[in-house]
Structure 1
Amino acid sequence: MMRVAVLGANGFVGNRIVEMLHLSGAAQVRPIVRRAAAAALPRRFDLDVRVADAADRPGLALALQDCDVLVVAVAGDPETIVGTVEPVYQAAQDAGVRRLVYLSSASVHGQAPAAGVNEDSPLSDRQPMAYNNAKVRAEQALARLRLAGRVETVVLRPGIVFGPRSQWVGGWADELLSGQAYVVDGARGACNSIYVDNLVHAVMLAAVSERADGRVYLVGDREQPSWRDLYGPITEALGRSLDQLPDRPASAAVGEAAPSRLQALRRAAPVKALARLLPRPVRVGVGAGLNAYRARSGVSSGGRSTEPAVSLERALLQTGAVQIPWIRAEVELGYAPVVSFDEGLRRSIAWLEYAGYPVVSAKGRAGR
């Protein structure tokens, strides 16, 4: 049976890759995490979890011994994204790994891609989003390494990856509860979504396809939703209406996108460590009440206005008009989404309820 190592196994996408590969019996899975504390999530399956840093070539090579495929699902800041490409590739080569599947992003084409974009469209590392530029440079570095190296490479470019535990679901719910949610120009722009299970399906195909070495693939959902289609049902599930939220103009967008979720989590780490001692429903209830009070009063805990600045990222995403095609993946990999957009939304909302968010019942929503 094929042995697949997953680097970044405790993250949103990495964790789901581990789950689906293991539970389906499609492969023997070896989760790899950066810190021992992060091993708890994948270890619930009694798997051979290894601890290794993506920047540590010798340590990672040891963790990759006897693996056939390495899936790279490492998250981080731009420096981490670019700086780990070479040590990861070289470690895979040292360990005798046959193929490396790298999870890039459709954002290499920008948050509002141009009409006619595809995998062969020229990329720029001079975009206003540092994350986009980092992914472009990472892909370029990986291509150079493949030219001189023995490990095969496949690059996947998913769009907006949503599902249980994703920032597009939980993060949006948090904004709603805190009174910080807003849309840009009605949120009617094209949402190039991909439900997380569809991405994992693409990873499985990329790991075994004989045609995939050295190739790049855009992947997405079959449907062509707008941002209203994604955020509307989640908003209604929490007892609100998208049309009641502040609708900000794209012209109000300022600077770079808001700080990454990872950076925000790092800043909030001490408070979150204490909050984790409380049951999830209690945390949600207390947080929602406090944030609702702040929203009504118009100030934050620091005395500043609670009205959020319009991020450039959100403005570009929610006003873009182009649905990115994934014809190459369909033809060369045999890719076809295994979960519909609507079913992905249903599962995401069910997870919100399971996680303790104040989800209104379907009957209650129907009666509104």
Structure 2
Amino acid sequence: MRVLVTGASGFTGGHLARYLALRGHEVRALVRNAGAVRERQLQNIEYHQGDLRDSASIHRAAAGVDVVYHIAAIYREAGLKDAAYRTVNADAVGTVIDAAAAGGARRVVHCSTVGVHGDIEHPPANEDAPLRPGDIYQETKLEGEHVARKTAERTGVEVVIARPSGIHGPGDRRLLKLFRGVARRRFFLLGSGGNFYHMTYIDDLVEGFRLCGEAPQAAGRTYILAGGEVTTLKDLVAIVAETAGVASPKLHLPVWPFWLVGAACEAVCAPLGVEPPLYRRRVDFFTKSRAFDITRARTELGYAPQVSLREGIRRTLDWYQAAGWL
């Protein structure tokens, strides 16, 4: 089967492209800089340079493929205007699906995020839980879902929406600060640490994406893809500490001063295009619960996470250490 993976120079998209190639698929990988991924090429990965804001490059990459896995997105970058998020995370979704339709693809798997649910009042949340995005990234990812569904209706292409949670694994940078802070004994908790967090190991996630792309019954459906275990943030930190061979952090500090500092940092730094030393969303990490019910993915797709929380953390830490990131 011929597939296209957007965002293939990133952590998740890169893992997915290599996973599908190793399973024997002919993979086209859409990247912004083909030279940056040469060292990761496999025999059946064909790299296409392009940009989500360049419709022609998307159409060229999508020509003749069977399934498109749309992973590319703007996550969270300092100094970006809301319009930049909207262009990539929402508007470009329609461009990708239009290109898929023009190229003859039967299905597009669109990667969204569990962040569209916002703070989970009654965990675990399933796909029908209220949608309350809390920042511009989450807002535009939700808009992207709406665009995906509308474009699917117009073009006739099957669309499957995947909402991953807490992705980690070798090469991940999103949770690197947590792992590094704990391993270096420079981490403390804000609040009690009793909020829930739901991790997903990258190997399980890419298998979930594959199932979304291949299961006939997935057409038109939305799936939360998460690991098999939910933990509190406090216990997650303790597992990271134990795996790193250090004592678990005992210091707990109040939340509100850091939230105020985060707001001030954003107000000062954002207009200057400078990365704020603290975001309010980083404070939210310590207070908002993220716990999800993956029953739909289990029953409809046969999704079955294989990597335990402890094993995933061990593999991630081992990779960080080998790469010199810790």
1:232 corresponds to which residue? 238
Does 1:149 find its partner at 2:155?
A: yes
Greater CA deviation, 75-84 or 335-344? 75-84
Q: List alignment gaps of at least 5 residues for structure 1.
A: 269-305, 359-368
Tell me the percent identity: 28
Letter of the structure 2 residue corresponding to residue 234 of structure 1: V
Deviations for 1:178-212, whole angstroms, at most 9, x for unmatched residues?
A: 88643222433211211111111111111111111
Does 1:38 find its partner at 2:36?
A: yes
Preserved CA contact (<8 Å) 1:33 1:51: yes
- Cα distance, 1:54–1:322 mapped onto 2, change above 3 Å: closer
2:280 corresponds to which residue? 312
Please report how far the alpha carbon of residue 112 of structure 1 lies from its aligned counterpart in structure 2 after TM superposition.
3.9
- Cα distance, 1:343–1:82 mapped onto 2, change above 3 Å: same
Instruction: Please list, as runs of the form range in 1=range in 2, the aligned pairs for 1:257-276 lying within 5 A after superposition.
Output: none
Between the aligned partners of 1:43 and 1:70, the Cα distance in structure 2 is 19
Q: List alignment gaps of at least 5 residues for structure 2.
A: 76-84
Instruction: Please list, as runs of the form range in 1=range in 2, the aligned pairs for 1:23-172 lying within 5 A after superposition.
Output: 23-25=22-24, 27-43=25-41, 45=43, 47-76=45-74, 78-79=85-86, 80-115=88-123, 117-124=125-132, 127-172=133-178
Instruction: Please list, as runs of the form range in 1=range in 2, the aligned pairs for 1:174-253 lying within 5 A after superposition.
Output: 174-175=180-181, 181-238=187-244, 240-244=246-250, 246-252=251-257, 253=259
Between the aligned partners of 1:225 and 1:330, the Cα distance in structure 2 is 19
1:167 is paired with a residue whose SS is coil
Letter of the structure 2 residue corresponding to residue 211 of structure 1: Q
Between the aligned partners of 1:145 and 1:70, the Cα distance in structure 2 is 14
Q: TM-score, normalised by structure 2?
A: 0.84
Please report how far the alpha carbon of residue 104 of structure 1 lies from its aligned counterpart in structure 2 after TM superposition.
0.5
Between the aligned partners of 1:157 and 1:45, the Cα distance in structure 2 is 30
The one of 306, 317, 330 aligned to 2:298:
330
Preserved CA contact (<8 Å) 2:18 2:42: no
Between the aligned partners of 1:103 and 1:341, the Cα distance in structure 2 is 22
Please report how far the alpha carbon of residue 267 of structure 1 lies from its aligned counterpart in structure 2 after TM superposition.
6.4
Letter of the structure 1 residue corresponding to residue 178 of structure 2: W
Aligned alpha-carbon RMSD (Å): 2.9
Preserved CA contact (<8 Å) 1:201 1:338: no
Please report how far the alpha carbon of residue 257 of structure 1 lies from its aligned counterpart in structure 2 after TM superposition.
11
Please report how far the alpha carbon of residue 56 of structure 1 lies from its aligned counterpart in structure 2 after TM superposition.
1.6
Please report how far the alpha carbon of residue 95 of structure 1 lies from its aligned counterpart in structure 2 after TM superposition.
1.1
Deviations for 1:313-352, whole angstroms, at most 9, x for unmatched residues?
A: 2443333456210111111111111222221111111101
Larger-Rg structure: 1
Between the aligned partners of 2:121 and 2:281, the Cα distance in structure 1 is 12
The number of residues matched between the two structures is: 309
1:352 corresponds to which residue? 320
Letter of the structure 1 residue corresponding to residue 12 of structure 2: V
Preserved CA contact (<8 Å) 2:243 2:314: no
- Cα distance, 1:48–1:115 mapped onto 2, change above 3 Å: closer
- Cα distance, 1:340–1:24 mapped onto 2, change above 3 Å: farther
